[in-house]
Structure 1
Amino acid sequence: MSVSVSSPLLKRLPPGLWTAGAWLAAAVYPLVEYVVLPHGPEYSLSYPEDGLDASLPKALLALAFALALTGSALLRRAPSPAYALVLAGTVVSTAAWRQDEIPPLQFLATGAVLAYVAAVRSRRASLTAATGTLAVLACYYLLRPLLGDDSGVAPEPFLALTAALAWLIGHTVHQARAHREELYARAAVQAVTAERLRIAREMHDTVAHSIGIIALQAGAAARVVGSRPDSAREAMLVVEQAGRETLAGLRRTLGALRQDDGEQADREGVFGSQERGRGTYEERVSAPGAASPRPDAAPPPSRPAPGLADVPGLAATAEAAGVRVDVSWHGTPRRLPTDIDLAAFRIVQESVTNVVRHAGVAACRVRLDHREDALAIEVADRGRGGAGATSGGTGAGTGEGYGLLGMGERVALLHGTFTAGPRPGGGFRVAAVLPLPAPAVAAAR
């Protein structure tokens, strides 16, 4: 169900309509006062006593209306020319009434157009418009003494202040809009960068572990294929299983990139139970007697994202590669938020992969501590994690990979703490603390 929010009336109406209304209100008033209504004993010094009896003033007033209304109609499409037309119409209107000054009420429309020009056009264009307005006012101010008018205080300085205030208001709106667009663009760039880093971490964690296992098992099979064919066969079965898991992970990641969260939730809700009960797509295709899928058939949806429940399987895979993983659970295990569960598994997976590939030891220890308000993870070994090196060769300082960097980014996104480095007695240690959100803490209590 879509919800539409209507904008205020001031924003829905075009700016030219407001300008035309203000200018017409100021221009029609003297017509009603000195032309339509009967002449009274009193008259204004700003308007002639005979009104518009001659033909030339009537033609000039018609031209003024045409110029002002045309400028109001073109205000949104061509702000600068529209402003020039409105200003010219105002000047012609004073000529029609044989005035030596611009009435302040009629100048309000000109100031409104100037503010709009400053809000939507560049600073140079708006300053040009403002300079033209000040030049017109200066001409009126200088011509008044030449025409012998010394009645009262000249309004031009006050109108100039009004024009400057209108320009400042419009220029402030222009700067605020530019700043807002810059923030939006910066936020878009940051969102794209964050998503790219997330995809890079997920691809690295999905592929690096399985590729490491495949490389070790394939090398072991190649060395014993002649003397111990049964061992070579077992190693190649491990390679096959790791390859299938890698393919499933890649399809899961690519599937998440091709569909939005709503489609992902719908497909998992429809097919999730069937997928868990019948095995993965690759296992069903490779099973004896299974029918080959049609080339044009879309593969079934992938499995849910991994979590701490998959740590035993990870330990079994590492043990098949020759490294025993001792997993110890502390605290009361409970259901974790999906992002924390996935991050915890990826940290354990990457750390164990580093031990298998680079530590050169036969065992490592994984400690998972379910605290009341956080999840603590520790992976330690006694391998070649000496000074200046990392057991995985993936430290940010070594320049050889992105394992530790990716783990640190995952923990930072969850507002946790992460440490990794050599142990005092030899080996390497990775530790992370992932704080739980308030609802999870309340549910645990």
Structure 2
Amino acid sequence: MKALAWAGSAGYLLVVGLLVGGAPRASGTAHGVGALLAVSLLVGVLRRTPLSALAMALFGSTAVVAGTPSSVPQSLAASYQGQFLSYLAVDLVLGFIVANCARRASTVAVAVSFVVQLVVIGLYAHGDSLTVNGVIALLAMAASCVAGLLIRERREHAVALRSQEVAEAVTAERLRIARELHDMVAHSIGIIAIQAGVGNRVIQTQPAEARAALSAIEATSRETLSGLRRTLVSLRQADRGEASLRESSLAPAPGLADIERLVAATMDAGVRVDLRRSGDQRPLPADIDLSAYRIVQEALTNVVRHAGTGRCRVAIDYGNEELSVEVIDDGRGATGNGSAHGFGIVGMRERVGLLGGRLSAGPRPGGGFRVAARLPLPAPVTVAAEVR
């Protein structure tokens, strides 16, 4: 690309040289139009170093104006009127700089261009032509700068809107996780209350039953406390006022035990799912179990909506230290950074990040899309041995 850019700049200078020295009988208008068309050769330089492109365009346009002979068979005013068309090329470059470069660089570029054009027009235009060409040059430059500013503002507005959408999606996902954690905590506290009541009633008559109830209380409370510790720091920044306004169902949260039902629903949608489980299948902490289920659910939803394929594979591995979840399809994959899947990937990353895990989601080298999550598992809860 660099060699192509400099080749274009060399071609531009060559064309300017031909216009100035190789076409002495051509009219000023022909010279101006030729210089205007020749600026297309500077596209490569313009993308890499816009200010260098502006300097070359100013040099070439000034050379065309100064080097065009005045002995052509037409009036002097008309000749110079056509020559100044070459400065429209400078205005095009200037509009690009205003739209894409820093404001200080844009201001300097506009000031330099304005001074150069004003000086050249003052030297080479005469009489009524001086006023006409000065006004035209000023209007053309103003139009290019306004167009550049509009493009810049539109782009900045689009970036701001996108950032706001992503922030709102992250906040909504945090609030959804908070609601689901509410279900988990309410369920755990309910179990603790029941077991505490049982232990209180039988502690005198059935010590073994009381010890079992206390063991269940210990295990449940430790799992709940572990889940709260992993999410409290991230969730307390969410908008609690907004969260209080949103009601949600208090139905039990789903987990990996419900994957078969999710697979069946996906098959009803026309996508065959190959479900594979490995490792020591065992009960998991509620927040990890729920997040793994939601990740598989979102990935399968993306397969149905975006992949354009009739099959996919879901692999769940119960490791000793982490839970691995992987969803692979052989469909169309995604473009760019996965934005074709909307905010689904954002939600997955938020869930995995809250649990201290890792997520990779993107197109596969051989085609299709892959979502893989690794969620660390807490150390198993050990209950003190019974003292006889």
Which is higher, the Rg of structure 1 or of structure 2? 1
TM-score by length of 1: 0.42
The structure carrying a bigger helix percent of its residues is 2
Give the TM-score taking structure 2 as reference length: 0.48
